[in-house]
Structure 1
Amino acid sequence: MNSQQDKLWVRWVHAYYIKRGTIENVTINSNTSWLLRKILDTRELLRDIGGWEEVSNIQKFSIKKAYNQMQENFERVNWRRLICNNQATPKSKFILWLALLSRLTTTDKVSKWSRDCITLCKLCGVQDESVQHLFFDCDYSKSVWATTLHYLGLSPVNFAVGELRRAIQKARSKRSKDKLYVMLYTECLYAIWLQRNCKHFKGTNLSPPAVIQEVLFKVACNCNENDRYRLLLM
């Protein structure tokens, strides 16, 4: 607060609350405004992360430094750019994130708390449904992936590990074609999840070719003009 005492609000706080003391020893009472109370409540947090010096840059508060100090030391996942450096729709990125964390409510998870749950895949009805099976091993999903890769001129690899590894690698690239692949990868995964839910709750779902057309349209609406032209040629 001392660095901007020319500001009217700062001068008022100093005159009526801090007076001749410091912000560290100001007492919060019933007359303290809500905004100032919230600011003063952060004093303990500030002390825990090392004090003012740890969150300031040339005597000015730094949001970036404060944020970094407040974060715990988590191990970085190798797919972080697949979420952050991705121009796909927010909903599709959210489903991708849940899939990467294996947090989607596939039947193998539901069966753990519901004995009446039928564990067979909602799309193929042949094998038990899991994230691995639903998105990569199911014949329905394989058809969606194979056609999408054909559009991009890519050969299929091991769908579970290989495609994820390829998507992670391309998410690090700045090439327009690689960004397009990441968008298609994300939107295809989301589309498969939507069709799975349609089959489960409505008893019907689109054919793989129809799904791919929807995916291409959605990606075309969110990509740049050059990529949109490339999609139109597919």
Structure 2
Amino acid sequence: MCLVRDTLRGGYAGDKWGMEDKEYTIQAGYNWLAPALEKVVWAPLVWLRLVVSKHNFITWLAVQSRLLTRDRLSSMGICCDIRCLLCGEATKTHFHLFFECIYSQKCVQLVSDWLKVTIPWQNTLDWWNQKRIKPLLRKHIVGATVCALVYHVWQARNRCLHDHSVIRPSRLVLSIKSCLCTR
């Protein structure tokens, strides 16, 4: 407590809290100590209320390029083969897995057809923040579907790695539909 007191002492000017000319509050002290956080463009899509928690988490990792794709594993000395497990082409990066891979593109097309919304997959975040989908419930359903798609593509990749089998894109989309309808 003494350390905190000594740290906060710099915020006082005489007997008054120097930042707002008011008495000290916990919030004022926190705001004074904490740096201002920048807003991230992906937050409104990733943290929707309708999204299943595990879909939130995987999408959150994916937008930050923190999933353990083969290129990341290779840089850690864990994996040597960096080809895509789903299509066998190119290097396995986040960008390839979710945007360039033929498998992912087919899944996006099937989901877009189902929702009757064209999802520009390579700039989804920009599209999401600018698109005014009406009504609001539909926008939340589209957002939940995008997060489910990210999660299920990641699961398909993991299934391919561990079980040596690839689920067809049409089956993957059926899983997404089922998951969203029960949600």
Larger radius of gyration: 1
Root mean square deviation, CA, Å = 2.9
TM-score, scaled relative to structure 1? 0.65
Identical-pair percentage? 24
Counterpart residue identity of residue 45, structure 2? L
1:171 touches 1:182 (CA, 8 Å); kept in 2? no
Instruction: Determine if the alignment matches structure 1 residue 44 to structure 2 residue 6.
Output: yes
Counting only pairs closer than 5 Å after superposition, residues 17-56 of structure 1 correspond to structure 2 as 42-47=4-9, 50=11, 53=17
State how far apart, in whole Å, the 1-side matches of 2:143 and 2:167 are. Answer: 23
Partner of 1:207: 168
Moved over 6 A (4+): 171-174
Give 2:154's match in structure 1, choosing from 176, 193, 208.
193
Q: Deviations over 1:152-192 (max 9, x none)?
A: 112353x212x232233359987111111110001100110
State how far apart, in whole Å, the 1-side matches of 2:142 and 2:113 are. Answer: 12
> How far does residue 92 in structure 1 lie from its aligned partner after superposition?
1.3
Give 2:126's match in structure 1, choosing from 152, 165, 185.
165
Counting only pairs closer than 5 Å after superposition, residues 52-67 of structure 1 correspond to structure 2 as 53=17, 61-63=25-27, 65-67=28-30
1:86 touches 1:182 (CA, 8 Å); kept in 2? no
State how far apart, in whole Å, the 2-side matches of 1:173 and 1:130 are. Answer: 34
Of structures 1 and 2, the one scoring higher in RCO (CA 8 A, sep 6+) is 2
Counterpart residue identity of residue 8, structure 2? L
Partner of 1:137: 100
TM-score, scaled relative to structure 2? 0.81
Instruction: Determine if the alignment matches structure 1 residue 154 to structure 2 residue 85.
Output: no
> How far does residue 203 in structure 1 lie from its aligned partner after superposition?
0.9
> How far does residue 46 in structure 1 lie from its aligned partner after superposition?
3.4
Counterpart residue identity of residue 56, structure 2? K
Give 1:87's match in structure 2, choosing from 13, 36, 50.
50
2:46 touches 2:60 (CA, 8 Å); kept in 1? yes
Change in CA separation of 1:42 and 1:160 when aligned onto 2, cut-off 3 Å: same
> How far does residue 212 in structure 1 lie from its aligned partner after superposition?
1.2
The size of the alignment, in residue pairs, is 180
Uncovered stretches (5+) of structure 2, i.e. residues with no partner: none
State how far apart, in whole Å, the 2-side matches of 1:152 and 1:198 are. Answer: 26
Uncovered stretches (5+) of structure 1, i.e. residues with no partner: 1-38, 223-234
Helix, strand or coil: the match of 1:160?
A: helix
1:121 touches 1:134 (CA, 8 Å); kept in 2? yes
Change in CA separation of 1:114 and 1:152 when aligned onto 2, cut-off 3 Å: same
